[in-house]
Amino acid sequence: MKYDGHDILRGKYNGHITCMSEEDQDTPWKYRSTELLDSFVQAGKDGLADAVQKGVADLHANGTITFDRDLFPYWGDPMSSIRGLMRGPRIMLGETDGSTTLVPYNQPMDTLAQKGTINIAATGAWNPIYGAIAVIQVAQQQNVFAALPKRPYNKYGFRVVSAAAISSSAGVAEGSQVASAVTPTYVEVDVGQKDVATVTEMSTRLELVSTRDDTITFNGNAQVVFSNLMNAMDTDLLGDADTVAGYNVESLDRLTDSYATYGTYSDVGTATDINWYNTVRSAAATTNYWDSNFYGATTDRPLTLSLIDNLYAACYPYWGSDLGNKIWVTTPGQSVAWSFLEGVKQRFGQETVANTYTQGVQPVIGQAGGFKLSTYNSWPIILDYNVQSDTSGRIMLLDLNHTGMLVGRPIEAIQGNNPLYLQYYLNRLAFYGIMETYGDLPKSCGKIMDLA
């Protein structure tokens, strides 16, 4: 029999009608009665009275009772309203004092905006994983250092002929007396060697952590330091002539200087700055053979092809029969001006191509890509950011038959982590080598500077 809830409250049915049951496998219908209607109604009355006493419900003069909607959100709502509440449920927010606040379903965002918002800046909320890769955001070129030949160290220095035994008038009269003996003038030049080194280290604990967590690894750090060392050596190799080398390798900028034209430009500080291997270039006995072919000016002027061709012509007589193995050296910026001087010349090529920009930049050769000069007089042009600049980059012409690096000990990595020797709990790596810049014929090289 089906009972109506409102009729039960009005007392329409017998007070002994069962109203609650629970499972019971011993009865034929598998359920047994647990509570009678009168006790059920009485329990309801007690509950209403308790609600009124605690202030969560109000008893009105007409006998009706209303409940606090924040605590009883569904009381008295029709089913359609309850379905709406279920689609947009209310949110219970915890307070710091342990109490809770029930947010009305139609204004959840307004109340949420008053609470603290977790974002990526919150402490401990986000730990980004970068990996053990480090992008080197500093200059790391070593183009000129890499282009120079490396020769094994076999002696401390060399001798130079500063004056020829005979330079002209080799003829003698018929039947003449034997002429007096002549000898060339020899000068000893001390090249020596320079130590190059740098050290990096990592604590033993960080090295352990790097095998499990997101941090730079020992080998990754070693690669960065080695790249920095190579760039540092390249920078020393291309240092300004007025910077004394000291413990660093000698600079090619000093090799390609000249005392013969000293004073026609303002960059070099003193006359002794241009002494290659401490050999005095100002002495009359050494100026002729130890000077380089130098083209400077008191004020910066534009680059012209005649300057470049004059440098080539001045170096040419000192190359002997070997006209190869030469390089030009300049800055990337100066190569643009140099390319422009060559690019304006008329050409009759038929090839036309275009740059493509799919999955990166595809370099091409041709008119559409512009004219990019890579060689001049058949010799390659080496671009290096570390080449010295005045208003714009200098240009050097180097004879690699007489210029390079004299290597006593190649740069190698020496690693150790024994705390008894290091006195610290860490892993240390030292890069170490012995070498020096050599140039035994400065006259075969040259430089153009003071360019606008």
> Between the ranges 43-52, 225-234, 265-274, where is the mean pLDDT highest?
225-234
How sure is the predictor about 89, in pLDDT bands with cuts at 50, 70 and 90?
Answer: very low
Do 49 and 190 belong together in one domain?
no
Do 52 and 147 belong together in one domain?
no
Positive or negative, the Cα torsion across 281, 283, 284, 286? negative
Do 203 and 302 belong together in one domain?
yes
pTM: 0.65
240 lies in some domain: yes
How sure is the predictor about 112, in pLDDT bands with cuts at 50, 70 and 90?
Answer: very low
Do 283 and 408 belong together in one domain?
yes
* Residue environment code for 164-183, b if the CB has 16+ CB neighbours within 10 A, otherwise e: eeeeeeeeeeeeeeeeeeee
Query: Does position 12 have pLDDT exceeding 80, yes or no?
Result: no
Mean pLDDT value across the chain = 75
> Between the ranges 131-140, 178-187, 212-221, 293-302, where is the mean pLDDT highest?
293-302
Report, as an integer, the average pLDDT of 220-235: 89
359 lies in some domain: no
* Residue after which a domain boundary falls, among 37, 72, 96: 96
Do 75 and 150 belong together in one domain?
no
Do 243 and 385 belong together in one domain?
yes
Round to the nearest angstrom and report the end-to-end CA distance of the chain.
109
Report, as an integer, the average pLDDT of 254-266: 72
356 lies in some domain: no
128 lies in some domain: no
Query: Does position 387 have pLDDT exceeding 90, yes or no?
Result: yes
Tell me what pLDDT residue 23 has: 63
CA of 278: how far to CAs of 155, 189, 215, 271, 433, in Å? 17, 8, 48, 12, 23
CATH number for 406: 3.90.1690
Q: What is the pLDDT of residues 406-448, one digit of tens each?
A: 898 999 999 898 888 888 899 999 999 999 998 888 889 999 9
Query: Does position 68 have pLDDT exceeding 70, yes or no?
Result: no
Question: By three-state DSSP, how is residue 145 classified?
Answer: helix
10 lies in some domain: yes
Structural domain boundaries enclosing 426: 143-164+185-344+366-448
Report, as an integer, the average pLDDT of 333-342: 88
218 lies in some domain: yes
Length of the chain counted residue by residue? 452
The answer to whether 450 touches 297, Cβ cutoff 8 Å, is yes
400 lies in some domain: yes
Report, as an integer, the average pLDDT of 320-339: 90
| Residue of 421 and 365 predicted with greater confidence | 421
353 lies in some domain: no
Report, as an integer, the average pLDDT of 103-115: 49
Tell me what pLDDT residue 161 has: 73
The amino acid sitting at 358 is: T
Domain count for the chain: 2
| Residue of 187 and 329 predicted with greater confidence | 329
Phi, psi dihedral angles at 245 (to 5 degrees) = -65, -40
Q: Which of 37-51, 130-144, 259-273, 278-292 has the lowest mean pLDDT?
A: 259-273
The answer to whether 386 touches 240, Cβ cutoff 8 Å, is no
Do 71 and 154 belong together in one domain?
no
**CA contacts within 13 A on the Cβ side of 176:** 7
Do 440 and 374 belong together in one domain?
yes
CA of 107: how far to CAs of 67, 88, 91, 112, 441, in Å? 21, 10, 10, 9, 87
The answer to whether 400 touches 212, Cβ cutoff 8 Å, is no
